[in-house]
Structure 1
């Protein structure tokens, strides 16, 4: 296990996922936005406007890099070319945080445009531990692991998700990214109590929060099905669950994710301000 420490820190306040159409507002009037997150795979090119804008933003804001393509839970080895491109970006940007998902998106040579859940077994634990250690060794820094949004449960799972994440962190030294919306989506879809999940979660290992909107659908039996869509405001029950998280574990850097049907900047800024108010109010 690598002995690593953060290169920088994010403020325990609100951040947003960066979208290029918001560049001018962020540079000139960011309001309550105190830090930014980017998706790593959008910045693995060799120059151009994206990296030029990111350079300016990094002079003004702490940056968190969020990966979506490593396939940490995949059965095959991690893609060495992807890891190499990721390291080039991390070395150049020197972000405050790097995170990825407890999920898989590759099989053999196929890449699936989805973040798919895993069975929580001892074999999975061994494989994901090896992948996390490889990433941290390659990057020379600690990574955070995000809990997934789930639409099914595996009969062969022998670990609960909170215990599985706790054990991964114990074995690798990684931190955790708690996506509060993902907890609510999974709890609704799999019929468990989201507050009981939070009560069992290792909140002391969490270094970042995510908040996002979701869409509601129904399954083939007419039961409610939530989709982690990132295309609308955070729902009220998710804000209430966020309050429960903060009351039990304290404030952390809190990101508002909005990746589809992206609104004007003032809408995102208002969501970020609300996240900060929730943290201030509950902690106080």
Structure 2
């Protein structure tokens, strides 16, 4: 599989099509949600075909329910294979989460207990996806709001074990790290210090919302605001340590005008370019 360029990307929104064509700024790749492009044609595919001629493409899934108790939905996987064959994206990713119960699909990405049983289940599903698609997938660390007393291993160890067993890559969402660590009163720098950067094929950045509860702050991975300053700081530390990595700015709700999103991409690009100039990295092995 091709890899994304060590550049900054944004999540493509149809309202931005004309503006991207006129002034993409520092944007080097675009990401789309797979489920929005599973129809046969129409304006969505016309726009994506046009953009694919000039930009690398990342496809991000939200509907495979990798952590679900049932096998991966074969019909959904077939539609995903058709989409990937059509556009030959440089990257395909999904979430470490479950979003289905029986035949019902939920509008959320729900957390998992980190146990040997869950590990075997997730690895089987990742293997099934990679075999069906004929390509490597990246698995994204979740934003979480609860933990499970049944868990027997830390989240980082769980993700590393999945990557080691299946050969999948990892998508490091820095905002998700910050959200989860604040919610569970953990140190995000300690979390990141243990993360297997050699498996990382893409980084995500996004905004979050905050509520103040009697027990302290609760962060929500809302993707409707600019990237917060603490997340920018963590991102700069990640690329200084691991070297430059393809970086996506997500903004999915209350989507702003293109100049606002382009400015977020420019801020990420400045940090990425500094990492390139400084020659950061600890012998990171790129996924393939």
TM-score (norm 1): 0.96
1:114 positional shift:
0.3
Residue of structure 1 in register with 2:284 after alignment = none
Count of residues in Structure 1 that have an aligned counterpart in Structure 2: 277
2:195 is matched with which residue?
Answer: 201
> Which of 225, 232, 248 pairs up with 2:218?
225
Match of 1:276 in 2: 269
| Residue in structure 2 matched with residue 86 of structure 1 by the alignment | 80
- Residue 270 of structure 1 aligns to a residue whose secondary structure is helix
The equivalent of 2:129 in structure 1 is 135
Deviation at 1:166, TM superposition (A): 0.6
| Residues 245-254 or 165-174, more deviating | 245-254
1:105-149 deviation per Cα after TM superposition (whole angstroms, max 9, x unaligned)? 001112110000100000000000000000000000000000000
Q: For 1:38-86, what per-residue CA distance to the aligned partner results, in whole angstroms no more than 9, with x for missing partners? A: 0000000010010011000000100000000000000011111100110
- 2:115 corresponding residue in structure 1: 121
2:248 equivalent to 1:255? yes
Partner of 1:189: 183
Q: Name the Cα RMSD after superposition.
A: 0.9
2:22 maps to 28
Helix, strand or coil: the match of 2:27? coil
Matched residues in 1 for 2:151 and 2:272: separation?
34
Q: Quote how far apart the aligned CAs of 1:28 are.
A: 2.1
User: Residues of 2 paired with 1:60 and 1:25: CA distance?
Assistant: 14
Report the more deviating stretch, 26-35 or 13-22.
Answer: 26-35
Other-structure match for 2:46:
52
Q: 1:176 aligns with which of 170, 173, 182?
A: 170
| Aligned mates of 1:282, 1:14 — CA distance in 2 | 13
SS in 1 for 2:204: strand
Q: Cα offset for 1:246?
A: 1.1
Question: Structure 1 regions of 5+ residues with no counterpart?
Answer: 1-5
Name the residue aligned to 1:216.
Answer: 210
Deviation, structure 1 residue 281: 1.9
Instruction: Kindly indicate whether residue 68 of structure 2 is the aligned counterpart of residue 74 of structure 1.
Output: yes
Q: 1:9: which partner in 2?
A: 3
The Cα offsets for residues 89-118 of structure 1, whole Å up to 9 and x where unpaired, read as: 011111000000000000111211000010
SS in 1 for 2:112: coil
How much does 1:282 deviate? 3.6
Q: 2:233 is matched with which residue: 240, 253, 259?
A: 240
Aligned twin of 1:3: none
Shift of 1:222: 4.4
Give me the whole-angstrom Cα distance separating, in 1, the residues matched to 2:49 and 2:250. Answer: 21
Q: What residue number does 2:160 align with?
A: 166
